Amino acid sequence: MIPFRSQPPAPSLRQGYRLVENPGLSAEALNNLLIHTGDKPRSAASWQQVLERSTWYYAVIREPDQVVGFVRITSDMALNANLWDLSADSSDATQAEIYLALVTAALGKLKRELGGCSISLAAPPAALQALKHHGFVLDPGGIRAMGLALQ
């Protein structure tokens, strides 16, 4: 199965949560999410730069205005797309639902707008179930990706 071409139906979030495309997000809100995922915060300048260079991004907002999930997409608008910063608040009881909503939204938009591109991403272990739901396979055929985190 090619995961990008056939997708399960879009999940719905619980009451009090909403999925928003390209919301105006502050560095503080995004850093609060990173802290709740066990990641390191970034400077406001860094967040501004990555958001400006992203093709689009999604956030899950829990009422009243807390960012509890985020993913951003970059693309050459032809053959390749990358999902970055896929994250969901680890202290939120709906973390699995948040990941599923983010992955579904990102893949749905890619399917509609860039139907033939390849997708790469790095994901935390907590997001694997949402990715498998869409047909992604961990290390297919023993192929392993490598990455380098610059400190």
- Cα–Cα distance, 92 to 85 (Å, whole number): 17
| Domains identified in the chain and CATH numbers | 17-138 (3.40.630.30)
Over residues 62-73, the pLDDT tens digits come to 999 999 999 999
Q: How far apart are CA 111 and CA 4, in angstroms?
A: 7
Beta bridge partners of 66: 62
> Three-state SS for 95?
helix
Beta bridge partners of 19: 60
pTM for this structure? 0.85
pLDDT in tens, 34-51: 999 999 999 999 999 999
d(CA 91, CA 30): 15
CA–CA dist 47, 113 (Å, integer): 25
